[in-house]
Chain A
Amino acid sequence: MARLEHNNIQLDSEGRLRHFLTIEGLGRDLLTRILDTAESFAALPGRPVKKVPALRGRVITNLFFETSTRTRTTFELAAKRLSADVLNFNVSTSATAKGETLLDTLRNIEAMHSEMFIVRHSQSGAAHFIARHAAPGVSVINAGDGRHAHPTQAMLDMFTIRRHKGDFAPLRVAIVGDILHSRVARSQILALNTLGVTEVRVIGPRTLIPTEARALGVHIFHDLDEGLRDVDVVIMLRLQKERMDGALLPSEEEYFRLYGLTNERLENAKPDAIVMHPGPINRGVEMDSEVADGPRSVILRQVSYGIAVRMAVMSLCIQTHAEVPA
């Protein structure tokens, strides 16, 4: 009951998307609708004019408390392809940027008539926090908060999977690497389970798998070959270099030897399995170049789908708080 109430912050009274903070609490219909809407935008890059006028005159703000040029750019491009005006704010999260300042920042930008915030923050729950304090008529899209969620990244991965595999139901998907610190993995697992795949597996050493990972609805494997057996989709997670320092892993070499993806190890998966990675890849750590650039890799396509999916989420969120018809 409590959970329902909290996640409903994402939906308006008629069950339409208002904020996009996490996959949790969103049903299969809604996720499918995001994917379907994204299909409409996927063909745009092939046109002479690569934009639609849907959000002409609307102001969308990238509010990034954690630098990520790549993610910011895809959101910016998505907003511009919807003909929205884009503001970019990079707020340093130094000692001064505590709660007070964060809310002040929000109020200041709202005063510029921004109707949508794309928020990225190093702390879990930051997007929820901002959504809870956003003025009526303002939507918040989570572009990554701490270890919590990165729902647009997960949806573009779902889009990629659907494009290549069609139906979700028969699929077995393996997610390999640092699940513990990964907001992408959390959102992917939720999305895959909501869309009804047969099985989600996580593969990694115990130090990188949360103690209660089972509660996420996954099967846990510590052996890569075993975990990859008969899977249709392999998602490799990025291993942050700083994980080597915290006594989580002994060395990159050992990690690659145990969990690095090579063509040989990919043999365990189904012959038509696809390989995904949210990028940027650490070649020779998560996978070798042969796999990354090989025929099974759909990594580059993920990037272009990302814009279509973000356009879909933006256009679905902004609709619900328009002026009431006279």
Chain B
Amino acid sequence: MKKSHIFMQHDAIVDLVDGMTHLLRHQLDDRGITEPAMIGIHTGGAWIARELHDRLGCSDPLGLLDISFYRDDFTRIGVNPQVRPSQIEFDVEGRDIILVDDVIQSGRTIRAAMNEIFDFGRPASILLATLIERGGRQLPIQPDVVGLRVPLQPHEHIRLRGPEQLTLEITQRG
């Protein structure tokens, strides 16, 4: 049995993104980074990254990652039906990267994404920003910037829908 409800509407999410922009500026200042490049993880992460990219005024085109072929459970799950090419049109080598995803849970997606980024080149640093941080980490990976921490039960699933009207939806399983 599945039960879903809207957890957050578009405007509230945009407020979270504004907050993330603010926090990111701080982090970049602290680290002395002036020219960050941004990469969003397909698909929800890419929507958030697009917003952040505009707000931060990054000069390089936004990079997009589809991590399907880097997942550690690839041979169990297989090819995502909506798989699309990863597009990074700037040179990753020596750059400071802001990696953006919608939700961080186990940390496996981020690991796969970092693996893929390294196949494009060796960045100087990677900074992780996620809209939602929830429990359930299985790897020692923590975001540097978070829009909102949401305490959720293991049987609850949070999902970003978009791209025009962003909504966060929580689904109960069981």
Contact, chains A and B (beta carbon distance below 8 A): yes
Decide: B70 and A52 in contact? CB cutoff 8 A: yes
- Interface size, B (range): 20 to 34
A132 to B86: give the CA distance in the assembly, Å.
37
Decide: A42 and B70 in contact? CB cutoff 8 A: no
**Stretch of A191-199, A246-254, A288-296, A314-322 that contacts chain B:** A314-322
Decide: A48 and B74 in contact? CB cutoff 8 A: no
| Contacts known (A52-B70, A54-B70, A315-B69); A39 close to B84, Cβ less than 8 A | yes
Decide: B87 and A54 in contact? CB cutoff 8 A: no
A-contact 0/1 string along B120-143, CB 8 Å cutoff:
110000000000000000000000
**Stretch of B3-11, B32-40, B54-62, B75-83 that contacts chain A:** B75-83
Decide: A40 and B85 in contact? CB cutoff 8 A: yes
A33 to B118: give the CA distance in the assembly, Å.
27
Task: Verify if B164 is at the interface (C-beta below 8 Å from A).
Answer: no
A83 to B69: give the CA distance in the assembly, Å.
10
| Contacts known (A48-B121, A53-B69); A43 close to B76, Cβ less than 8 A | no
Decide: B79 and A319 in contact? CB cutoff 8 A: yes
Pick from A40, A47, A51, A319: contact of B84, CB below 8 A: A40
Task: Verify if B172 is at the interface (C-beta below 8 Å from A).
Answer: no
A312 to B77: give the CA distance in the assembly, Å.
15
Which residues of chain B are within 8 angstroms of A55 by Cβ–Cβ distance?
Answer: 74-75
A325 to B115: give the CA distance in the assembly, Å.
24
Which residues of chain A are within 8 angstroms of B83 by Cβ–Cβ distance?
Answer: 36-37, 40
Task: Verify if B66 is at the interface (C-beta below 8 Å from A).
Answer: yes
Task: Verify if B119 is at the interface (C-beta below 8 Å from A).
Answer: yes
B-contact 0/1 string along A11-42, CB 8 Å cutoff:
00000100000000000000001001101111
A321 to B79: give the CA distance in the assembly, Å.
13
Which residues of chain B are within 8 angstroms of A53 by Cβ–Cβ distance?
Answer: 69-70, 74, 115
Task: Verify if B43 is at the interface (C-beta below 8 Å from A).
Answer: no
Which residues of chain B are within 8 angstroms of A315 by Cβ–Cβ distance?
Answer: 69, 74, 78-79
* B124 shortest CB reach to chain A, Å: 16
- Interface size, A (range): 20 to 34
Decide: A47 and B120 in contact? CB cutoff 8 A: yes
A16 to B121: give the CA distance in the assembly, Å.
35
A27 to B8: give the CA distance in the assembly, Å.
39
Decide: A48 and B120 in contact? CB cutoff 8 A: yes
Pick from B69, B75, B85: contact of A322, CB below 8 A: B75
B-contact 0/1 string along A297-326, CB 8 Å cutoff:
000000000000000100110111011010
Binding site for A on B (CB under 8 A): 66, 68-71, 74-79, 81, 83-87, 115-116, 118-121
Question: What are 22 pairs between A and B in contact, CB < 8 Å?
Answer: A33-B79, A37-B79, A37-B83, A39-B84, A40-B68, A40-B83, A40-B84, A41-B85, A42-B85, A48-B119, A48-B120, A49-B118, A49-B119, A51-B119, A52-B69, A52-B119, A53-B74, A54-B69, A319-B74, A322-B78, A323-B76, A325-B76
